[in-house]
Structure 1
């Protein structure tokens, strides 16, 4: 009997499973049913894309200052270019727009510093994001300090207001949501009951109702010498509402943790908070990333509801623009532009969460 003691070199994969042909076969033409669906999808794209592209690009008008500049049969993007400043800054004074631009630049730099894993000293970036960035942003946008002119919050609007509400809501809601989730699972009946009641009440009421109540009733529960403007009331309402949603996401992650992880923390002699900080919560946050990001995406879109209390975010500014008699029949272009802006931010958050999941993946896949 002859035994081969040499390694046989690996053979290349069949040509039908490699390259573009292999990808098409695996993803689009793996079965007869998938092949039919693929051809139907291609037929729909061939039917739909050319006229849309022709309307949005080939026959569109891009340059001008008023509706008279739109002379073709395509989209009138002149509306977007003419009101772009209002879409971005709301009713912020023209002479002070440089302050908003610095806010945008600082926000971008800080987010890159915190979220990009190749940046040095990311911990310091996180500390600045939670402390220095909110303070400097408030000084820049509101003024009243260092010789800056005061700009009341009712003049804030557009994309700037949307980002302010979203960032504040995300930063405040996550830690409060974690504490609420831990409190709901607490062995102390008083703490568990309080957190349960809080979560069920806040997440069971529509956000639009919470914003209205925050605007009307919140001043009744604070001392008379403290004055909260509409923006501060909206921030409080949005943050507490999202915290209740985050709490349920985190509670789901806590319940998914094997009991052995808690026992391991106890066996190492760790206190409750040490075990949560070092062993439990890192794993819970990792498996809860999809739910957390989904809640943040919902928060970003829900900021458009602040119109109910008289604040004009990006969507509200757009809706005010299409009611202008000088811009008739412009609603399609306005909604397409606004929808694209919201989609771009939400898609960016979604893709970052996917990248973060891959980075933190430890092989626990369903």
Structure 2
């Protein structure tokens, strides 16, 4: 069946697509067989290397859970701080006051341009030279600092783009009924923009969870990925098994975040569907910043 965007395939095109499909299936099977053979040749698929994860809880209680706990702690602290900070910076970039807009723009563009790993290293040195933070807590502080500074800047751009994506009629209608700009931003624009921004915000939260691994690679922060190295050495160099288990845990965490975001986005969209009712003059008295007579409060 043909459509505006797609033409029906002819006999030659169908045969060609079948050949391409068969070729790629064979190529994929060959690659998978090569991977399997290589791992089996290196004895990475031996049951002895995978046994610690399927018999007993020692690997989980000694290595995986402490590392996962540190990962979730650093990610949660970074999210709690970065989300409101990013919202404030994003709104500040839209301010009419130049003394608010320019500093916010400088902060966002500066920290957004620096790699998060560099920010973590600078944070570690900062806490080492100018604070009394203990050496045990310093990696956590440095990781959270780097994640907050970088991701708050990225979230600020997401917030700004989400608000600018709304139709201008939204803010104009709010001003027409007597709302001040901060009222329109708080009561009209932000609630609508949240639904639009939610997928991008959750994507950035997933980045925060994954970037905690940078602290383990450079700052000896005992997070989940760093625990895999120690665990692999203890169980006889079962590198593939250890990192496979850790990868599955990261997939579960990030998939849970995205699934929750999808559910929340759908709930918000359903909750914001208009009933199509028309308000009378007397009913507008309950609108903040507006009086029933049609004049600004």
TM-score when scaled to structure 1?
0.59
Paired residue for 2:222?
Answer: 312
Paired residue for 2:191?
Answer: 282
**Which secondary structure does the structure 2 equivalent of 1:288 belong to?**
helix
- Tell me the distance in 2 between the aligned counterparts of 1:44 and 1:73: 26
- Tell me the distance in 2 between the aligned counterparts of 1:241 and 1:337: 29
Paired residue for 2:49?
Answer: 76
Residues 251-290 of structure 1 show CA distances to partners (whole Å, capped at 9, x for unaligned) of 1111111111111111222233322222100111110111
Residue 355 of structure 1 is aligned with which of 247, 263, 288?
Answer: 263
**Which secondary structure does the structure 1 equivalent of 2:96 belong to?**
coil
* Cα contact 2:116–2:150 (8 A) shared by 1: yes
Quickly say closer, same or farther: Cα 1:358–1:219, change in 2 above 3 A: same
Paired residue for 1:236?
Answer: 145
Residue 62 of structure 2 is aligned with which of 74, 82, 86?
Answer: 86
* Cα contact 1:169–1:235 (8 A) shared by 2: yes
**Which secondary structure does the structure 1 equivalent of 2:114 belong to?**
coil
Quickly say closer, same or farther: Cα 1:47–1:350, change in 2 above 3 A: farther
Residue 160 of structure 1 is aligned with which of 50, 69, 73?
Answer: 69
Larger RCO (alpha carbons 8 Å, 6+ apart): 2
Give unpaired runs (5+ residues) of structure 1.
Answer: 1-30, 60-69, 91-157
Deviation at 1:40, TM superposition (A): 5.6
- Tell me the distance in 2 between the aligned counterparts of 1:310 and 1:332: 21
TM-score when scaled to structure 2?
0.72
Residue 271 of structure 1 is aligned with which of 180, 199, 202?
Answer: 180
* Cα contact 2:121–2:142 (8 A) shared by 1: no
Superposition pairs of residues 325-340 of structure 1, within 5 angstroms: 327-328=236-237, 330-340=238-248
Quickly say closer, same or farther: Cα 1:72–1:289, change in 2 above 3 A: closer
Quickly say closer, same or farther: Cα 1:42–1:348, change in 2 above 3 A: farther
Query: RMSD over aligned Cα, in angstroms?
Result: 3.4
Give unpaired runs (5+ residues) of structure 2.
Answer: 1-12, 274-297
Q: Does 1:251 align with 2:160?
A: yes
